[in-house]
Amino acid sequence: MDWISGREVYKNERLKEPEVLEEEDHEFYELKLFVNGTSVISIRAMNNLREILEKNIPGRYQLEIIDAHQQPELTQSENVSATPMLIKKSPAPLRRMVGDMSDEQKVLKGLGLR
């Protein structure tokens, strides 16, 4: 993570084979994860989320990790009231999830994948 700016963008470049793609697989996910520095729960949320994304939507997401303390204006403008908080910007609808992202089924439901 770039601690000077407090932001990290994680973009997966791998793509599925075209013949494997289904209609809903064409959606690209724009995600923001607000964390509290290097706290244990923030690190756990980052690791759990990356694992879930790589397993379920590889190559179809951009994950921006934002340290809420380093980026207070952005945190406020996104109405982040607790960390870690994942915000799914696209595809619509906008959704928010709070916690360490350890429950894969809840994360997938929040992303609209279940």
**Residues 18-48 pLDDT 10s:** 444 454 557 999 999 999 999 999 999 999 9
Q: Which fold would CATH assign to domain 7-110?
A: Glutaredoxin (3.40.30)
Buried b (16+ CB within 10 A) or exposed e, 45-69: bbebbbebbeebbeebbebbbbbbe
pLDDT above 70: residue 3: no
Tens digits of residue pLDDT in 72-101: 999 999 999 999 999 999 999 999 999 999
Q: What is the pTM of this model?
A: 0.80
Q: Rounded to an integer, what distance in angstroms lies between the CA atom of residue 58 and that of residue 79?
A: 28
User: What residue ranges do the domains of the chain occupy?
Assistant: 7-110
Separation of alpha carbons 96 and 86, rounded Å: 6
